[in-house]
Amino acid sequence: MTEVQRRMAELSNTIYLAGEWVPSVGDRHDVIDPATTERASSYADATGEEVDRAVAAANEAQSIWWQMSALDRANALHEVASKMVERSPRTGECLTREMGKPFRESNWEGGAAASSFRYYAEIARSEAGRVAGPAIAGQLQMVLKEPLGVAVSIVPYNFPMLLAGWQAAAALAAGTAVIIKPSELTPVTLLMWMEAFEHLPRGLVQVLTGGAATGQALVSHPQTHAVAFTGSVRAAQHVAATAAERFKPTLIEASGNDAFIVMPSADIEIAARGAAFAAFLNCGQVCTSAERFYVHESVYEAFVARLAAAAAALRVGSGLEPIDIGPMASKRELLRVERIVARAVEQGARIETGGRRPPHRSTGWFYEPTVLRVDHSMEIMHGECFGPLAPVARVASLDEAIRCANDSDLGLGANIYTNDLAESARAVREIETGIVWVNTPLNDNDAIPFGGRKFTGSGRELGTEGLDQFRRSKMVMIAPDAEPDPEWFPYPDDDAFRT
């Protein structure tokens, strides 16, 4: 047993409440390591009473946090970032054991989340509103940005530290407290991640484990004030509906089914390598995974051959071994992906490579990176696969590619590989998504807002827009001297209505 496994056992069934890991009295569930199918950890469903205690602690901590100077808050957030980086190999091992991704990727998450804490630590102290040109001479008229209070952050299993980090960094920098509700598949990762937050006021950041009921209890609680949700469309709709009852501001980051377009001017070798990364990273369990490929007919065969070769060369195995692709995060997810492939084949798709569980792995929920020849009419192109699948359709023109890309209820990201400036410009302008990547799949930047359109959701994470998700505006007007206003009573008779 490693030191991290010992710590995972200690943290199992706890919640991080008011600055301490305390055992929850709620019902308990096992988390299964998807590479070994053995128990990795366990978690409890936080009870209603535990939710009440956490919400009270969060409100108390928030008022202490907001009374501190902006500089002290910034320093405390930089300390969070440093601790996160220092502990990243530990939380990374834990994450791999809980949901299977390669250690390189789970270790990366700690550093990537830390980067957003450093970014928000600085931008939040550089402005807290703005001063307007006064509408009344001599007055100070301004908008002050104030924290929303207590935010609920509900996160999925695929990038728990990165996604909770984007939301928590912005919320804390804005002066808002956060209660995080992790996925049922990665509860202990976020409990362990709390080691980086111990120096903050007790209760400012908390983790309450459980399923949809815990999430709903937090969202509907009268003393929580904002909701940030990342996950599936269905769950997002439930969360948004509950939040709407109290008009709580809601940030929704739901599913994607990103298109990946390849045009003849692209370097096909590089485009295929980029495509393999975009489709198979984290076993395809990325909200911005390339989910459907539209490749110009003149380079279709060359692209499919190269992508299939790249897919077949990927090493599939336990995330704690030197591999490229881990297992699917759960058996349910594996079975879902198998059903999608079976349905595609039924509809006429042809498997170029993959399409099965790897024969050399008898245990674990592994699936081979899969390339399929498809057309746009098939179900696999409409909806989110969220697995290691690359369905590739042939298109005759950029017009057709853009039309297919936009033929979707979801609108997170889109990729295009081209060396033609005019084609790049058209893709950027015409594709109906929150993100467009030209020749650089899946990258992000703390300083640029991330999010989607259509059923993918509303609101933005990262950038100054991300900070404003957790602040409200207050209109303030200050007259230096109290003087009578010419608009006051009594009204002059000259202004009265005349017939």
Cβ neighbours of residue 178 under 8 Å, at least 6 residues apart?
58, 150, 151, 152, 153, 167, 168, 171, 172, 204, 205, 206
Q: Of the candidates 157, 21, 45, which has an alpha carbon nearest to the alpha carbon of residue 98?
A: 157
**Token code pair at residue 460:** 């933005």
404 catalytic residue (yes or no): no
Query: To which residue do tokens 């989110």 refer?
Result: 384
Nearer to ligand NAD, 241 or 342 (CB): 241
Output the CA torsion sign for 162, 168, 51, 23. positive
Window 148 to 167, contacts with ligand NAD (CB under 6 A): 154-158, 163
Q: How distant, in Å, are the alpha carbons of 47, 55, 271, 465, 471 from that of 225?
A: 20, 10, 44, 18, 11
Q: Which residues on neighbouring strands pair with residue 178, listed in sequence order?
A: 151, 205
230 binds ligand NAD (CB under 6 A): yes
Nearer to ligand NAD, 26 or 231 (CB): 231
Window 291 to 330, contacts with ligand NAD (CB under 6 A): none
Nearer to ligand NAD, 76 or 243 (CB): 243
Q: How many angstroms separate the CA atoms of 243 and 425, rounded?
A: 38
76 binds ligand NAD (CB under 6 A): no
For residue 212, the minimal CB distance to ligand NAD (Å) is 3
- Rule CB under 6 A: choose which of 153, 216, 353, 433 binds ligand NAD: 216
- The per-residue DSSP string of 181-198 comes to E--TTSHHHHHHHGGGGT
For residue 287, the minimal CB distance to ligand NAD (Å) is 3
116 binds ligand NAD (CB under 6 A): no
For residue 206, the minimal CB distance to ligand NAD (Å) is 15
Among 94, 283, 287, 385, which one carries the catalytic annotation?
287
Listed ranges 102-110, 252-260, 368-376, 389-397: which one lies at the site for ligand NAD (CB under 6 A): 252-260
270 binds ligand NAD (CB under 6 A): no
Among 93, 105, 109, 253, which one carries the catalytic annotation?
253
For residue 213, the minimal CB distance to ligand NAD (Å) is 8
Listed ranges 29-37, 78-86, 199-207, 233-241: which one lies at the site for ligand NAD (CB under 6 A): 233-241
Cβ neighbours of residue 177 under 8 Å, at least 6 residues apart?
58, 59, 61, 62, 65, 149, 150, 151, 171, 203, 204, 205
287 catalytic residue (yes or no): yes
Window 404 to 463, contacts with ligand NAD (CB under 6 A): 412, 452, 456
Nearer to ligand NAD, 157 or 280 (CB): 157
Window 4 to 33, contacts with ligand NAD (CB under 6 A): none
> How many Cβ atoms are within 10 Å of 20's Cβ, its own excluded?
13
Query: Could you tell me how many residues of this chain bind ligand NAD (CB under 6 A)?
Result: 29
Nearer to ligand NAD, 42 or 353 (CB): 42
- Rule CB under 6 A: choose which of 26, 34, 256, 441 binds ligand NAD: 256
Task: Using DSSP, state whether 371 is helix, strand or coil.
Answer: strand
Nearer to ligand NAD, 83 or 181 (CB): 181
Per-residue interface string for the shown chain with ligand NAD, residues 165-204, x marking contact by CB under 6 A: ----------------x-xx--------------------
> How many Cβ atoms are within 10 Å of 248's Cβ, its own excluded?
21
CA dihedral 428, 433, 435, 439 (to 10 degrees): -50
Q: How many angstroms separate the CA atoms of 6 and 20, rounded?
A: 18
Strands 250-253 and 226-230: parallel
Nearer to ligand NAD, 310 or 435 (CB): 435
User: How many alpha carbons lie under 13 Å from residue 153 in its C-beta half-sphere?
Assistant: 31
Cβ neighbours of residue 259 under 8 Å, at least 6 residues apart?
290, 291, 292, 293, 294, 401, 404, 405, 408, 414, 415, 431
Query: To which residue do tokens 């077949």 refer?
Result: 312
Task: Using DSSP, state whether 30 is helix, strand or coil.
Answer: strand
476 binds ligand NAD (CB under 6 A): no
Nearer to ligand NAD, 300 or 386 (CB): 386
For residue 434, the minimal CB distance to ligand NAD (Å) is 9
Task: Using DSSP, state whether 179 is helix, strand or coil.
Answer: strand
Max Cα-Cα span within the chain: 96
Per-residue interface string for the shown chain with ligand NAD, residues 378-397, x marking contact by CB under 6 A: ------x-x-----------
Nearer to ligand NAD, 362 or 443 (CB): 443
Binding site for ligand NAD (CB under 6 A): 154-158, 163, 181, 183-184, 211-212, 215-216, 230-232, 235, 238-239, 253-256, 287, 384, 386, 412, 452, 456
Q: Give the active site residues.
A: 253, 287
